[in-house]
Amino acid sequence: MKIDGYQPVQPYGKYPLPHQGKQPGTAPAQSDKVEISSEAKRMQGAHRLEQERLDKVQNIKAQIDAGTYHVSSEDIARKMYAWWNRK
């Protein structure tokens, strides 16, 4: 195979012509159809969870601002122990 020099793969003008028998728009009309997957349906319910999480965060922020938020040291130690010993 010779590498140097320009060798066109297919000369211009030898491309196949479009089919003359089929015209655009001759296909039977079809109605649009939308299908929502089960994953998308599950994600639609996530808005409620996001709102609940936002309410919880706002509640904790209000407690911190008021100085009434307290987490026991035992709970912190238990969570740290569980995180470091997870498999």
Instruction: Quote the CA–CA distance of 63 and 47 in Å, as a whole number.
Output: 25
The model's pLDDT over 1-36, given as tens digits with 9 standing for 90+, comes to 566 666 666 556 666 666 666 566 566 678 888 888
pLDDT at 37: 87
pLDDT at 19: 66
pLDDT at 42: 79
Angle at 71 between CA 70 and CA 75, to 5 degrees: 165
Please identify which residue in the block is written with the tokens 């922020």. 61
Alpha helices in 1-87 (DSSP H): 38-44, 46-66, 73-84
The pLDDT confidence band at residue 84, using thresholds 50, 70 and 90, is very high
pTM score: 0.40
